[in-house]
Chains A and B, each alone.
Chain A
Amino acid sequence: MDFLTGGILCIGLLLVAMAIGMQIGLAFLLGGFLVSGLLLGFGSSVTLLGQAAYFSIASPTWAAIPLFILMGAFASNGGLARRAYNGVHAFARGLPGSLMVATCLSCGVFGAVSGSSIATTAIFGKMALPEMARLKYDKALSVGCIASAGTFASMIPPSMMMIIYALFTQQSIGKLFAAGIIPGFMTAIVYAVLIIVMVKRNPALAPETEPETTDANHVVMSRSREALQMWPVFLIAFIVLGGLYAGLFTPTEAAAAGALVTLAYGVLTRTFRSVGDVTAAMQESANVTAMLFLINVGALFYSRVLAVTRLPTELTMMLANWDVEPIFILIGIMAIMFFLGMIMVPIGIYALTLPIIMPLLVKLGYDPIWFGVIALKLTEIGAITPPVGLNVFAIKGVIPKAMNVSLEQIYKGCMPFLLCDLVVLVLLIVFPQIALWLPNLLMD
């Protein structure tokens, strides 16, 4: 089978399986397995699937995700998240969509701890969504906001994907880390502006009406006092950030430390009233972990099968032989990465395209550090584009059932932020200095 037939079959089967409403993880597995069976035979495909079911996720890097989910559950069920968002609400009353704006900026700060965008999405979904729902924020927009803001964790160091990019392209990790900081926070600010503009034009998106049942305390408490209630949040942020940058623990371990500190807060302040409250949080996290990782296993397996079809490789190679202006080749490369981002996981995209793209880009005079930021932006956009958006799946897992938000609604909610990302992307291309100024300042 040639690469085009194999690739189209592979993608077509996935789309059909997803369209008929199959569980996403199973849709990946089925589509992948059928094509793999055709290309490699049944026995080899069983080996590929059986091993991938374990080894594709059995690494400490992935372990950070369940632990951040656990931390989110502890923060949410233990009252910490409520406290934080009450504080934000009190402090930033009058700012349209204040909770969403605060979530965007917090995702940026949290990105300095977490290296994984899925983990960041899951933890903020768990903490922020119930609070946004309480204030009657537009469901799709709040969910889309968190799924999109989760991507900051990859752009702002430390970043797992940047380490992988550096490894695949032989670039300095330090320079890449530095290059991501400004684009990361810039995106956060663009998101915040977008939210403010959208809510100003349509206040129904974030009415910020407290439900009737709120206890009287809230009403009498002064704004500053309520804002002061946020101290435990800053304390926990300080411990986790401080512990990481003081070398007490690694990015992976930060998730465990953060979960423990959050649990300790809930227990010490007695917001966890019983053991049952704690076990409920633990069990919820375990459920979300299982749901999310069936998708991860499926997506990683599927990426491998797509590699076997060689569609991504062949597509990229075609560009290499294309005789046009460099900028068109760059646009072509970005189009391919955007397209692959729709159906593949980031690491698969890197592994299959970078070996071909990199020499080409260097020959055309593009800066590999700069392109690292572009590539990351594109793969992170892929995390929120249908049909395969890992951040969208991550947030779907932590949405309270009562909120009843479908995947389609989440994708729709991500669209405004996707447009922001594209604007930032264009800015990065027109003004490469946005990415390159800081690394050049720090490293040369």
Chain B
Amino acid sequence: MKKMVHKANHLLAGFAGWLMLAMMMLLVIDIIFRTIDLPLQGMAELSVFVMMIVIYLGFARCEEHKEHVGLEFVLLMLPKKGQRFLLAFSQLIAAGTIGLLFYAVTTDAWSAFQTGDAIEGVVDLPIWPTKFIMVVGMFFFVLQGFINLAEAFRGLKPGETGGEP
């Protein structure tokens, strides 16, 4: 399970890297065509879609590598055992919060799909496909949040070293 999620996170993050380039190219193409008097429509909006995908697909990998930053001063004041308890406790709440965000984003994506919510342009760009991809990213974020939680709890057992800060 952990391996599978790791693989998925890795794939999604790699894909997000290429999307960064796509985001750049969309705007560059927009500039070029406007400069030669053949303005395009909707490129800025598309680049925003791509940005949203980059962001949400990247959450899980950041969580896996503990790159979502937090404050550490309380943690550092505690003894080793206290640190493990605090880590497990805060990750418990974090996992719950990720789940909550997942729920909210999913509900929102579903309602965007039902209403056909779109950005008004020469061609109305539907928003739901982007929101659905965000849901996928959030799904892996939740999984990773709970994997980290399981590890933090394993760290509570005597003799284990998991969950070191």
Contact = CB atoms under 8 A, between A and B. Distances in A.
Given A256-B27, A256-B31, A257-B31, A53 B101 contact: yes
Interface in A15-68: 17-27, 29-30, 33, 46-47, 49-51, 53-54, 57-60, 62-63, 66-67
A293 interface: yes
Interface in B20-44: 20-21, 23-28, 30-31, 35, 44
Contacts, number: 200
Given A70-B24, A248-B35, A287 B58 contact: yes
Nearest to B138: A53
B101 A283 contact: no
A253 interface: yes
Nearest to B101: A29
Contacts of A295: 69
Contacts of B14: 279, 283
Contact of A24 (B30, B49, B68, B107): B68
A67 B14 CA distance: 17
For the residues of B in contact with A, the DSSP-based class is helix
A307 to B, nearest CB: 18
Contacts of B55: 57, 289-290, 293-294
Residue of B17, B31, B71 with highest tally of chain A CB at under 10 A: B71
Given A57-B55, A70-B20, A282-B17, A26 B71 contact: no
Interface in B64-116: 67-75, 86-87, 89-90, 93-94, 96-98, 100-101, 103-109, 111
A396 interface: yes
Given A18-B70, A60-B44, A70-B24, A46 B104 contact: yes
A59 B72 CA distance: 33
Contact of B20 (A49, A58, A282): A282
25 contacts: A17-B93, A20-B74, A22-B93, A22-B94, A23-B68, A24-B69, A50-B109, A51-B108, A53-B104, A54-B105, A54-B130, A54-B131, A63-B44, A67-B23, A70-B20, A248-B35, A256-B31, A284-B17, A286-B17, A287-B16, A287-B58, A287-B62, A290-B54, A291-B58, A408-B72
Enumerate the 4 nearest inter-chain pairs by beta-carbon distance, A residue then B residue, closest first. A290-B58, A50-B108, A283-B17, A256-B27
Interface of A: 17-27, 29-30, 33, 46-47, 49-51, 53-54, 57-60, 62-63, 66-67, 70, 248-249, 252-253, 255-257, 259-260, 279, 282-287, 289-291, 293-295, 387, 393, 396-397, 406-408
